Chains A and B, each alone.
Chain A
Amino acid sequence: QLQLQGSGPGLVKPSETLSLTCSVSGGSISSNYYWDWIRQPPGKGLEWIGSISYSGATYYNPSLKSRVTISIDTSTNRISLRLNSVTAADTAVYFCARRWLYYGLWGQGTLVTVSS
Chain B
Amino acid sequence: DIQMTQSPSSLSASVGDRVTITCRASQDIAGSLAWYQQKPGKAPKVLLYASSNLESGVPSRFSGSGSGTHNTLAISSLQPEDSATYYCQQYYTTPFTFGQGTKLEIK
Known: A59-B94, A61-B95. A46 touches B43 (CB 8 A): no
Q: Please count how many residues in chain B sit with their CB below 8 Å of the partner chain's CB atoms.
A: 23
Say what secondary structure dominates the interface of chain B. loop
Q: Report Cα–Cα, A51/B95, bound state, in Å.
A: 10
Q: Within 8 Å of chain B (Cβ to Cβ): is A14?
A: no
| Chain B minimum-CB-distance residue to A101 | B91
| Chain A minimum-CB-distance residue to B41 | A109
Of the candidates B34, B87, B94, which one forms a contact with A51 in the assembled complex, judged by CB atoms under 8 Å apart? B94
20 CB-based A-B contacts, threshold 8 Å: A45-B87, A45-B99, A46-B101, A47-B98, A51-B94, A61-B94, A61-B95, A62-B1, A97-B43, A101-B49, A101-B91, A102-B46, A102-B49, A102-B89, A102-B91, A103-B34, A103-B44, A104-B46, A106-B44, A106-B45
The 3 closest A-B pairs by CB, nearest first: A106-B43, A102-B34, A46-B98
Q: Give residues in B with beta carbon < 8 Å to A.
A: 1, 32, 34, 36, 42-46, 49-50, 55, 87, 89, 91, 94-101
